[in-house]
């Protein structure tokens, strides 16, 4: 399976590595746990994107790390702020910032690599949904820019195949290999060898890349249906952030002072469950209310109906929401 992955990653993501540098894991959480345990002898701080995926914060905190939130700007993690922080490991999602969707420009990528090179720092690149880009060219990985830099590259089968599989992979930099192998030499694989063999065959016979192409079309349809439904039902009152890739988008409500909590509970009463945007934020959530809208697991027909119901919920909650003087 490592050989199949190596060929796929090189072809589709520009990741350059030997199969020996690839480790099969049971999801992001396990990869991060292994990495945190490995690095905690020499590091004690993790810089994370803010807003950003909550799981790395939890896993590294559980391993005794101090978490340092770094603001996200138009080009992804703010690198000036990263340099000013005490972070010596940076967890980033450069090809599709989670949750806001920015792509880190090439100059910032080189700057981030230079940060890793110059101070004995480590980058964790989470390339979680790179297969799902609906417009423009695919964005090659950060790892491929400098395969010998201290970049830990993480990918998953959760988005395109199934999150129920619990199948992911990580590519370690050469510098971390001896320590990793010494620490985990006696560990058994956590992903069933039957599943690994089945996946290796699936890849070797070309089904995986065919499946990706098929799923990209399926998800693009759902993505477009969601955008259209938002335009139809909420256009004047919301702005979409981070569309064009992945399996979610963020809706920023305009002129609606109602809170995420009030909308989430009213939506849940109508059968719509939302992941709280505030869970991606360290410290205060943004002043404007933002909602995370996932479309991956929904049928296209239900997306239009779901947005219609959600729009009704937002407008109703907004009507009953107390306003400060001067607000409309």
Ligand X SMILES: Cc1ncc(COP(=O)(O)O)c(C=O)c1O
Q: Smallest gap, in angstroms, from Cβ of residue 240 to ligand X?
A: 18
Cα distances from 128 to residues 179, 181, 233, 240, 283, in angstroms, run 25, 24, 30, 21, 25
Strand partners, 47: 68, 90
Which residue in the set 23, 60, 128, 277 belongs to the binding site for ligand X (CB under 6 A)? 128
Can residue 95 be called a binding residue for ligand X (CB under 6 A)? no
Q: How many residues bind ligand X (CB under 6 A)?
A: 12
Can residue 50 be called a binding residue for ligand X (CB under 6 A)? no
Can residue 29 be called a binding residue for ligand X (CB under 6 A)? yes
Q: Smallest gap, in angstroms, from Cβ of residue 89 to ligand X?
A: 16
Q: Of the two residues 31 and 88, which places its CB atom closer to ligand X in the complex?
A: 31
Which tokens hold the place of 239? 């702005």
**SS3 category, 257:** coil
Can residue 98 be called a binding residue for ligand X (CB under 6 A)? yes
**Got the DSSP string for 52-112?**
--HHHHHHHHHTTPEEEEEEEETTEE-HHHHHHS--SEEEE-TTS-TTT-----HHHHHHH
Q: Of the two residues 34 and 314, which places its CB atom closer to ligand X in the complex?
A: 34
Among the listed ranges 1-9, 66-74, 155-163, 172-180, the one in contact with ligand X (CB under 6 A) is: 155-163
Q: How far apart are CA 18 and CA 15, in angstroms?
A: 10
Residues 178-237 interacting with ligand X (rule: CB under 6 A): none
Q: How far apart are CA 22 and CA 200, in angstroms?
A: 14
Which residue in the set 1, 9, 24, 28 belongs to the binding site for ligand X (CB under 6 A)? 28
Can residue 156 be called a binding residue for ligand X (CB under 6 A)? yes
Cα angle for residues 27, 31, 36 (degrees, 5° grid): 145
Which residue in the set 93, 108, 143, 278 belongs to the binding site for ligand X (CB under 6 A)? 93
Which residue in the set 158, 278, 280, 289 belongs to the binding site for ligand X (CB under 6 A)? 158
Q: Of the two residues 53 and 202, which places its CB atom closer to ligand X in the complex?
A: 53
Q: How far apart are CA 109 and CA 300, in angstroms?
A: 36
Q: Of the two residues 27 and 173, which places its CB atom closer to ligand X in the complex?
A: 27
Dihedral pair phi/psi, residue 106, rounded to 5°: -60, -40
Can residue 101 be called a binding residue for ligand X (CB under 6 A)? no
- The answer to whether residues 56 and 123 touch, using CB atoms and an 8 Å cutoff, is no
- The answer to whether residues 103 and 95 touch, using CB atoms and an 8 Å cutoff, is yes
Which residue in the set 6, 88, 102, 168 belongs to the binding site for ligand X (CB under 6 A)? 168
Can residue 126 be called a binding residue for ligand X (CB under 6 A)? yes
Q: Of the two residues 28 and 291, which places its CB atom closer to ligand X in the complex?
A: 28
Can residue 27 be called a binding residue for ligand X (CB under 6 A)? yes
Among the listed ranges 21-29, 74-82, 130-138, 297-305, the one in contact with ligand X (CB under 6 A) is: 21-29
- The answer to whether residues 253 and 236 touch, using CB atoms and an 8 Å cutoff, is no
What number of H helices and E strands is found in the chain?
10, 11
Residues binding ligand X (CB under 6 A): 27-29, 53, 93, 98, 126, 128, 156, 158, 163, 168
């Amino acid at each position: 399976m490592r050989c199949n992955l190596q060929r796929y990653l090189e072809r589709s993501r520009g990741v350059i590595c030997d199969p020996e540098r690839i480790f099969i894991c049971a999801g992001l959480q396990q990869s991060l746990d292994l990495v945190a345990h490995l690095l905690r002898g020499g590091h004690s701080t993790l810089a994370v994107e803010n807003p950003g995926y909550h799981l790395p914060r939890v896993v590294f905190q559980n391993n005794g790390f101090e978490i340092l939130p770094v603001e996200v700007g138009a080009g992804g993690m703010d690198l000036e702020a990263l340099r000013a922080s005490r972070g010596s490991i940076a967890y980033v999602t450069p090809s599709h910032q989670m949750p806001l969707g920015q792509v880190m420009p090439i100059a910032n990528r080189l700057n981030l690599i230079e940060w890793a090179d110059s101070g004995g720092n480590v980058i964790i690149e989470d390339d979680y949904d790179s297969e799902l880009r609906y417009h423009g060219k695919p964005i090659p990985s950060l790892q491929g820019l400098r395969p010998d830099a201290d970049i830990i590259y993480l990918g998953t089968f959760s988005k395109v195949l199934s999150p129920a599989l619990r199948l992911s992979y990580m590519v370690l930099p050469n510098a971390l290999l001896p320590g990793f192998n010494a620490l985990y030499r006696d560990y058994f694989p956590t992903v069933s060898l039957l599943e690994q063999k089945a996946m290796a065959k699936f890849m070797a016979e070309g089904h995986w890349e065919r499946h990706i192409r098929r799923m990209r079309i399926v998800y693009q349809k759902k993505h477009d249906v969601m955008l259209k439904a938002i335009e139809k039902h909420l256009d004047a009152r919301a702005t979409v952030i981070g569309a064009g890739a992945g399996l979610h988008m963020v809706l920023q409500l305009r002129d609606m002072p109602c809170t995420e909590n009030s909308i989430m509970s009213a939506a849940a009463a109508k059968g719509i469950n939302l992941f709280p945007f505030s869970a991606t934020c360290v410290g205060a959530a943004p002043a404007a209310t933002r909602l995370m809208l996932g479309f991956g697991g929904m049928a296209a027909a239900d997306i239009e109906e779901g947005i219609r119901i959600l729009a009704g919920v937002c407008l109703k909650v907004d009507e009953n929401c107390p306003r400060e003087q001067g607000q409309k």
